[in-house]
Amino acid sequence: MLLLAAKPVSAQPVIFWFNDPVGPDETILVTGAELDAVTAVTVSREPDAGTASPAPVETAVEILQANPQSLKVVVPAQFASGIYLMTLRYAEGSITISVNRPTVYWTQGQLGQSTVPGGWLQVFGRNIVRHPGRARLLLVPEAGGAAVTAVLAEGGMWRARFQIPGPTPPGSYRLRLFNGDGSNSGWSDAGQVIIQAIGPDTPPQEFDVRAFGAIGDGRKDNTSAFRKAIEAARDNGGGTVYIPRGRYLITEGLVLPPTITLRGERTDLVNLVWPDFESPPDSLIKGASSFAIEDLTIYASNHLHVVSGGFVQGDFAAPNASDIAIRRVRIRADAFRGLMTPEQTYKRMADWHRIFPGSSAPVSIRLSGKQLEVTDCDVVGSGSSLLLFKASDATVVGNTLGNGRNGNYSIMGSRRVIFENNRITAIDLQATGGAISTVSNWIASSENVFFGGNAIMGIYGWDREALTTDGPAGFYFGHAQTSSKDRLTLLDEWKGTPVSPEWAGALLMVVGGRGAGQHARILAPQKTTVTPQSEITLDRPLAAALDSTSLVTIVQAQQNYLIIGNTFEDTGVAAQSFGTAIGHVIADNRATRSSGFFAIGLSYGHLQPSWQVQLLGNRIIEGNVYRAGPAREAFSEEAAIGVHAYQTESRPGWPPLARAIIIRGNKLEEDAHIELKGFSSASPGIRDVVVEANAIGPSRVGLQVDGGVATSLSRRNDIRPRIGR
């Protein structure tokens, strides 16, 4: 966060981004404009509140690799860990930035963007909790009055969970976060939250399916009885359709209206069983909005989607869908059950290709809408295990997800998603892992995803990617200039077709010319057909105005993914940003027999840069990779932590595809290396990478930097002697 800026002048330095967290003897990379005007830099450590910390002392530090777009400095080794004030001085003034203060990506409550007294609220970003004993979250009433202090339940560098005190009055609150380091100036804004009043705890009316003729003997067709129970609950204005112990045959799809919960007595006591359809329904159970399925097991043979929520007319998201929960549901759905001949198997797969031309597989649980929950489920299905499509404020926690034939898991075009403590595996050798993606013509953005504590293993199909990002399209590539405070004029005739008519939320990245290295989000275009002089409105003014030299790409946004503390085993890529990326952190993950961790910028149907990605503290235990290595031309090779920029042009001045990447504190134990590949020495694809404090064990490569890399810094790496070839 900027604390102080001098009076504006024509060549005044402007800061776009700097990396943190950082500690003593670690590098701070600053990106911006006119940074070659900086003549001196000092760093001081801010005293900690309530301690006997000494007064801050400004220490001059050396400027490394300074140029108009970036500079690097190292925090003095004698400093203690904490919040650092870094001052950049130039002829007309100075700029001071505060490093290691909280940078909040998003907040998420028990009810999405709201919570209740006694409920929880989570905060995500960088430097969220640095000292748990001193960290605090204040809820400041918008209507005035005393602030409320939330109770820290657990917290770390990337997220924290707070408990809202029971007596907190309902209303709108502004959030202020202190991560425990620094003084009272170390507080950061953390957004807003609504505290909702808790209504009377009135149990919903219960409708027992047996009262409507259901018999759980595994033979009787219970379709009519279940539908009658569901209709009775609907006519009552909502309620719980209760299913006692038994095995219930159902021969058609069930539709759940809003405010209905379908609940079994217990997951292992209640089986809903569908027959081997000749022509199965599009979903075995579906609803448009506001329903729940709990505590039961689903068995099916030939099937399409198993559970579907928030969709209408096939793959179109239902407007205003919300409040869908799947809890403690076991799915055992096998469309390849029995003694099928090769011809029968081929026909079934051909039918899928016809019905699902984009994915070639049905989905076990597919949801869209707001406030979605999938918790403690155990999924085995014939195709993909899970799809979140245009979801927001979603939690996917504690599940076992098995991907079937041509299957995967997918978080597509979603925002504010907690995907945590899940176990993901392939139950078919043609299955792969999954992705956080924007692969849809009706998506402009994907952002704010916490992917943490998951275990992904045994992935052998497709490209074997355990976690990738994907989105091969864009809206515009060409020159643009500032026309007013928050508006740009697009100057070129772009011959492509915008990927989506929904521009709002798309990401503008200035890739060349004046102002290169900054970004903003699109609020709206003046028109969706791109012609010269088209106008677009940004979510905020750019720090450095653009002129006719400025080259921009407008793409589907992929921003602020936190990929933290996961385990990958027997996969291809463990985790990577593939194409467009802003603000991702890949940290504290473990990989065994996977190809590693990557930040990749490329031209993938459109110019898709990868910026401001940090790969921190990851561990590669065994780097042997089979048919999924970093280069793909070898059947088996070493794993890597890498930055790639696949340049399609070698003209001097062509914009880099990867910039501002930090690779720090990673441990590569065996048969793994670090590689930076910008490919073109005439137009380097990579600029401003810091490779620092990594440990590389026995390897054939060690550290590789090709001629397509500009302004990289390597320091304090422990690289073992290379293994002979």
Q: What is the DSSP string of 639-679?
A: EEEEEEEE-S--STTPPPSEEEEEEES-EE-SSEEEEEE--
Q: What is the CA radius of gyration of the chain?
A: 27
Average pLDDT over residues 50-70: 87
Does residue 162 contact residue 146 with C-beta atoms inside 8 Å? Answer: no
Q: How confident is the model at residue 8 (pLDDT cuts 50, 70, 90)?
A: very low
More confident residue, 471 or 211: 211
234 by DSSP, 3-state: which?
helix
Mean per-residue pLDDT of the chain: 93
Q: How confident is the model at residue 364 (pLDDT cuts 50, 70, 90)?
A: very high
Q: How confident is the model at residue 7 (pLDDT cuts 50, 70, 90)?
A: very low
Q: How confident is the model at residue 605 (pLDDT cuts 50, 70, 90)?
A: confident
Instruction: Report the sign of the C-alpha dihedral through residues 13, 19, 24, 26, in that order.
Output: negative
Rounded Cα gap, residues 256 and 259, in angstroms:
8
Residue type, 197: A
Instruction: Enter the tokens of residue 524.
Output: 């709206």
Average pLDDT over residues 522-538: 82
User: Which CATH class, in words, describes the domain spanning 209-431?
Assistant: mainly beta
Does residue 134 contact residue 178 with C-beta atoms inside 8 Å? Answer: yes
Average pLDDT over residues 167-187: 92
Q: Which percentage of the chain shows pLDDT scores above 70?
A: 97
Instruction: Enter the tokens of residue 387.
Output: 């799809």
Other CB atoms closer than 10 Å to residue 399's CB: what's the count?
A: 25
64-67 β-sheet, strand order: 14-18, 27-33, 70-74, 64-67
95 by DSSP, 3-state: which?
strand
* pLDDT at 255 exceeding the cut of 90: yes
Burial of residue 595 (number of CB atoms within 10 Å: 0-12, 13-18, 19+): buried
More confident residue, 390 or 359: 390
Condensed to tens digits (0 to 9), the pLDDT of residues 22-32 reads 999 999 999 99
* pLDDT at 10 exceeding the cut of 90: no
Average pLDDT over residues 693-700: 95
Average pLDDT over residues 226-241: 97
Query: Do 2-99 and 209-431 agree at the fold level?
Result: no
pLDDT score of 193: 97
Condensed to tens digits (0 to 9), the pLDDT of residues 106-118 reads 999 999 999 999 9
Q: Which residues contact 190 (CB under 8 A, 6 or more apart)?
A: 102, 104, 107, 123, 137, 175, 176, 177
Q: How confident is the model at residue 201 (pLDDT cuts 50, 70, 90)?
A: confident
CATH architecture of the region 474-555: Beta Barrel (2.40)
Residue 225, phi then psi, degrees to nearest 5 = -65, -45
Model-level pTM? 0.96
* pLDDT at 179 exceeding the cut of 80: yes
Lowest mean pLDDT among 38-47, 108-117, 193-202, 407-416: 193-202
Cα 592 to chain centroid, rounded: 22
Average pLDDT over residues 565-581: 96
* Residue reference for tokens 């009658």: 228
Q: Which residues contact 78 (CB under 8 A, 6 or more apart)?
A: 24
Average pLDDT over residues 511-525: 94
pLDDT score of 528: 66
Lowest mean pLDDT among 12-16, 359-363, 523-527: 523-527
- Which CATH topology does 103-195 take? Coagulation Factor XIII; Chain A, domain 1 (2.70.50)
108 by DSSP, 3-state: which?
strand
Pairing, β 206-208 against β 120-126: unpaired
**CA distances to 121, 511, 530 from 150, in Å:** 9, 42, 48
pLDDT score of 725: 58
Average pLDDT over residues 341-367: 87
Instruction: Enter the tokens of residue 10.
Output: 């024509």
Condensed to tens digits (0 to 9), the pLDDT of residues 287-301 reads 999 999 999 999 999
H-only helix segments in 270-427: 342-355
Condensed to tens digits (0 to 9), the pLDDT of residues 403-413 reads 999 999 999 99
427 by DSSP, 3-state: which?
coil
Rounded Cα gap, residues 234 and 241, in angstroms:
10
524 by DSSP, 3-state: which?
strand
Cα 117 to chain centroid, rounded: 28
Condensed to tens digits (0 to 9), the pLDDT of residues 452-484 reads 999 999 999 988 999 999 888 899 999 999 999
pLDDT score of 660: 98
What residue ranges do the domains of the chain occupy?
Answer: 2-99, 103-195, 209-431, 474-555, 558-719
Q: How confident is the model at residue 635 (pLDDT cuts 50, 70, 90)?
A: confident
Rounded Cα gap, residues 193 and 307, in angstroms:
31
DSSP bridge partners of 569: 457, 592
Average pLDDT over residues 64-68: 94
Homologous superfamily of domain range 2-99: Immunoglobulins (2.60.40.10)
pLDDT score of 72: 98
pLDDT score of 457: 97
Lowest mean pLDDT among 42-56, 151-165, 669-683: 42-56
Q: Which phi-psi region, left, alpha or beta, contains residue 284 (left: φ > 0; alpha: ψ -120 to 50)?
A: alpha
Q: How confident is the model at residue 650 (pLDDT cuts 50, 70, 90)?
A: confident
